[in-house]
Amino acid sequence: MNAGDFASTPLPNIDGLSTVSASLLAIVLSHGHRDHWGLVPKVNPAIPLIMGKATESIIRAAADFVPDAVVLNANQYLEHRKPIQIGPFTIVPRLVDHSGFDAYAMEIVSGGKRVFYSGDLRAHGRKRKLFDALISDPPRNIDLMLMEGSSLGRLSDDETFPSEEDLETTFVSRFEQTDGIALVACSAQNIDRVVTIYRAAKRTGRTLIIDAYAAEVLKATGHDSIPQPAPGWSNLAVYIPQRQRVQLKAKGIAALVDDYRGFRIWQEQLAGSAPRSVMLFRGWMMSDLDRANALVGARVFWSQWDGYLAEGQSGAALKSDCDRRGIAFETIHTSGHAGPSDLKRLAAAVAAKRLIPIHTFERLRFPTLFENVSLINDGEWVEIL
């Protein structure tokens, strides 16, 4: 279901979502993207929530920094290939490659019937091996597969998205061509992308500068293989922009910056280090950089969905700010979702008796691309025979 704003979007008509009902045992979140849990704050808080551990901690870490923040507490965690039992349902999660960290597909088994839910996934990110593993060892005897199709309509059937490695190569060449600071506008929660940018920075002898929000999100992954202000990491620095300093004080959490000791970079150092720096950046940070005289020779790289650059969207203001300041602006991005050819490989490997399109604006294309497709409307119950 595609929802509008939080206030005006009603809960789906499912028994137990707003009232108490024994028929609703839990809500399982495949990953932390808001399109997957946006309405959870409206449901009866007694319903158990199940999600990945890193998903829970990233949402918690982000809550101190993002507007309309929510904290979701998990009753149980999803773990790669570790079955969990919820009433009569056995759920076997499969960690997948996606732009959201700690994302799962899952097999749901009950009464001898088997459903496979793809979650959101792709095969061209930094965890593509997980997609290959899913194809070579797919869930068996699936009666019903719910498969996402976000990319359909964005790519023609034979086109493919660039990989994160392709992006890394592009960033390396652009950073080499940039005289001053390279400013990359990307979501700190797109961990794959932060890793791509970090690697490109390191390869070009630059330091990646992050703010407290990104630092906390990276720490919350719980993986020491992800760059973060911690012992052993080089080419990484933390800058606390003026506005964030005020925000941290107002929230009473200014002490968290103590953890960044040894990694801090200060406003008066920005201009001098600009030619050797890459910054994970958002539009409102421009005034800090301006005040620090750190914008000489700067370039901005937009590394998120192009839709945010449309009139009235958040990216449009940044784009026009760059135009006004004469700062070059370029998009370097790839999708968080599988293209049609990878979806075809997945559908063929699972070979479900029925395949139902979800999470797509192009469900009418499913029957031409995949076998055994049934089109089901939102709110319609499906019987598994």
| Contact positions vs Zn ion (CB under 5 A) | 33, 35, 100, 120
Q: Where are the alpha helices (DSSP H) in 178-250?
A: 191-203, 212-220, 242-250
Name the residue type at position 19: T
Where are the strands (E) in the chain, listed by range?
A: 27-28, 49-52, 76-78, 84-86, 89-96, 103-110, 113-117, 144-148, 182-185, 207-210, 236-238, 277-280, 299-302, 328-331, 354-358
Q: How far apart are CA 60 and CA 216, in angstroms?
A: 10
Least gap, CB of 186 to Zn ion (angstroms): 15
With a CB cutoff of 8 Å and minimum separation 6, the contacts of 336 are: 98, 99, 100, 120, 122, 125, 150, 190
Q: Where are the alpha helices (DSSP H) in 303-339?
A: 314-325
**Number of C-beta neighbours around residue 87 at 10 A:** 11
Region at 87 (left for phi over 0; alpha for psi -120 to 50; beta for the rest):
left
Closest CA to 289 of 214, 368, 185, 204: 185
